[in-house]
Structure 1
């Protein structure tokens, strides 16, 4: 009888402990993943950085700017995207959250995020619809003259370039990547700090 009562109490306790251990392992695994740079990020590192040309782009009002006008000695994350491409939109949502995280740490001015779409000025409503539909608040730009898409040889989207403060492309990341990652954020901050030394 005592054994039966003991088993009645012990079995549920062991099951609960087992579930807790499993949940704790999942949390640790998630943290480990968050501390490792995604493979596509690592593979995107450019062995020899090349300077960014001062090509023109436009904001959604049609005002022409150059990359230098926008960058102003900051680290730039340039994302070539399309409103109809879901991978592009998901990537921008992740980048937006990274931007918000940096702003919350008073580091928002150290990195500028430039989503650039290859559409004409007549297609701006399409970009606006995508921006509003997906809750994107990042400033958006367009490559009206197709100069940037040609210069950076954009053949697939999304394509992300990370440019250091010296104006050199140091990462070229093709395709979707999970940006909400502690290691990615730390790498961006490392690039900012390298440029300040």
Structure 2
């Protein structure tokens, strides 16, 4: 019964994220640059990835996201990492990003205002937008190998 409830919850959650196209936000990056999602995805398909330092699957996923970013950034793809840690953790977030050589932009969402716009329930949460601002793929959680499906979706949105 728990398994059926989990499946039902996942379907309801995923459909609520999918039904919300043209979600937008503006936030400041770790480099003190203002990023507006709609401006980013109007130029290139964009993956928004919600994560936190306390989330072990999130930390594992970051390496895979960086690999995908490096493969596809020159083909018109970008990633925005949305960190969910508290403001007290800013130095640790910066240290993690630096030590793990994360080169895509990271914005901070300590009050989960952005996360709420996506109807987020748990992290890691990845949402892929096309250039029209339509959500074309969403994924909750991370297990090794999940990046294979994500890469297929990236190729699809890039027209490869």
Same fold (TM over 0.5): yes
1:176 matched to 2:142? The reply is: yes
CA gap 1:193/1:150 in 2 versus in 1, 3 angstroms: same
Question: Deviations 1:38-91 (Å, cap 9, x if unpaired)?
Answer: xxxxx8975955313222221014443321233233111110000222210111
Contact kept? 1:46, 1:170, Cα under 8 Å: no
Would you identify which runs of 4 or more consecutive aligned residues in structure 1 move more than 4 Å? 43-49
Which position in structure 1 is the counterpart of 2:97? Answer: 131
Determine helix, strand or coil for the equivalent of 1:50.
Answer: coil
Distance 2:57 2:120 in 1: 15
Q: Considering only aligned residues, what root-mean-square deviation do their CA atoms show, in Å?
A: 2.7
Partner Cα separation in structure 2 for residue 133 and residue 56 of structure 1:
26
The question of whether the paired residues in 1 share the 8 Å contact of 2:41 and 2:129 is answered with no
Distance in 1, Cα, partners of 2:147 & 2:140: 17
Does 2:121 correspond to 1:155? yes
Q: Distance in 2 between matches of 1:144 and 1:57?
A: 11
Aligned mates of 1:186, 1:167 — CA distance in 2: 19
SS state at 1:150 partner? helix
User: Is 2:49–2:125's contact at 8 Å kept on the other side of the alignment?
Assistant: yes
**Looking at CA atoms only, which structure, 1 or 2, has the larger radius of gyration?**
1
Q: Which runs of 5+ in 2 are unaligned?
A: 1-10
Which of 42, 49, 56 aligns to 1:72? It is 42
1:89 and 2:59 are equivalent in the alignment:
yes
How many pairs does the alignment contain? 147
Q: Which runs of 5+ in 1 are unaligned?
A: 1-42
For the 8 Å contact 1:163–1:171, the answer to whether it is kept is yes
Q: By how many angstroms is 1:138 displaced?
A: 2.4
**Closer, same or farther: CA 68–145 of 1 in aligned 2, 3 Å:** farther
Return the match for 2:107 from 118, 138, 141: 141
Matches of 1:75 and 1:46, distance apart in 2: 20
**CA distance in 2: counterparts of 1:50 and 1:60, whole angstroms:** 27
